[in-house]
Amino acid sequence: MCGCLPGIRRGRTGPLLAALGSLLPLLAGCGGPSRAARVPAEQRLADAKQAFDRKSYGRARSQANRVLRWHPTSPAVVDAWLVVIDCYIEQRNWPRAFDECEKLLAAHPQTRHRTAVLRREFQIGEALAASHVWFLFFRLKRLDEGIRVLERVVEHAPFGPLADRARYAVGEAYFRDEQYKAAHDAYDRLLKDYPNSDLIIRARVRRATANQRLAEGPAYDHQPAMAARRDMEDLARMSGSERVAGYARDLRDITARGDYDAGLFYFGRFSIDGGMRYMKAIMARYPDSEYAERAERLLALLKRLTADAQAEGAMP
């Protein structure tokens, strides 16, 4: 039985197969560049920028990636790569944006856009350091990720225009997170590595503030003592026992005295802000205690002394 297609006799299939063979590459798009690949890189880049301006970031990134894929030697490649990075930044996908920055710098280390790329890395580092991500029910800080990106900016250009700003941003990120020792060290590195920076005065002030916070220690957590006092007062009301009521008053006085002594300690260390913080807290938490009256008198005295000092300073 003939194995040929119906209607086609044996011996006559050669020319037909040859014709099909010449057509298959064309049908598969292999006989030359595709229509999409024939679009100039500059037109692709213009389309990507227009889409970005319309906030159509997915389309903008797609168009820019086609420039990278189909025109890898075009002068428009770096500009297209920047569009990809900017799209990720606008979509708050900062880790991916940073990865693209690093790839760009590795592929084009001498690009004239190097400072523009580092400026984006600086922006990404600041954003990451101030952000968080949710994992299941846990809110996780991204401080360490942001610090690594900012340190990378310094590594890329230790004497560039962004190096001292990156150092300062590291200190600010640690300071916001109340990691005052790490903040102090970051400001100190800025002062040592960039003594001619415009940020020197600000860094000195912030380093001094970090030192002050370190001297004050962590903020006092009054919640356990307040909870114990409330429990004791509730128990006194429920039981009607005068003895339990006396215990509640004693507990109130003990916690008030502890805060009062802590405030005096900070005043003795010339930490006015720390002392005032405790005195104001005493007045708010223990309004009926003798320590609230003492704190009020002390704050009034401090206010008068401050006014007198300002008056003397204003005199010729």
Predicted confidence at residue 36, as pLDDT, reads 53
Considering only residues 146 and 22, tell me which one the structure prediction assigns the higher pLDDT.
146
Q: Side chain identity at 190, as an amino acid letter?
A: L
**Across 37-51, 190-204, 271-285, least confident range:** 271-285
CB 71 within 8 A of CB 33: no
Predicted confidence at residue 121, as pLDDT, reads 96
Final residue before a domain boundary, out of 200, 216, 232: 216
Predicted confidence at residue 150, as pLDDT, reads 96
**Across 189-198, 208-217, 285-294, least confident range:** 208-217
Query: Mean per-residue pLDDT for 37-53?
Result: 89
| Number of domains forming the structure of the chain | 2
Domain that holds residue 285: 223-306
Final residue before a domain boundary, out of 182, 216, 250: 216
What is the pTM for the complete model shown? Answer: 0.60
Predicted confidence at residue 23, as pLDDT, reads 47
Predicted confidence at residue 69, as pLDDT, reads 92
**Across 61-70, 88-97, 216-225, least confident range:** 216-225
Structure tokens at 251: 């507990």
Query: Which of 150-164, 255-269, 287-301 is the most confident on average?
Result: 150-164
**108 and 202 housed in the same domain:** yes
**156 and 228 housed in the same domain:** no
Of 277, 232, 279, 274, which Cα lies nearest the Cα of 252? 232
**175 and 120 housed in the same domain:** yes
Q: Is the residue at 45 inside a domain?
A: no
**278 and 184 housed in the same domain:** no
Q: Is the residue at 101 inside a domain?
A: yes
CB 140 within 8 A of CB 133: yes
**186 and 128 housed in the same domain:** yes
**98 and 149 housed in the same domain:** yes
Query: Mean per-residue pLDDT for 239-248?
Result: 68
Residue with tokens 């007198």: 308
User: What's 189's domain CATH number?
Assistant: 1.25.40.10
Final residue before a domain boundary, out of 216, 232, 251: 216
Residue with tokens 């039985």: 1
Average pLDDT of the chain to the nearest whole number: 80
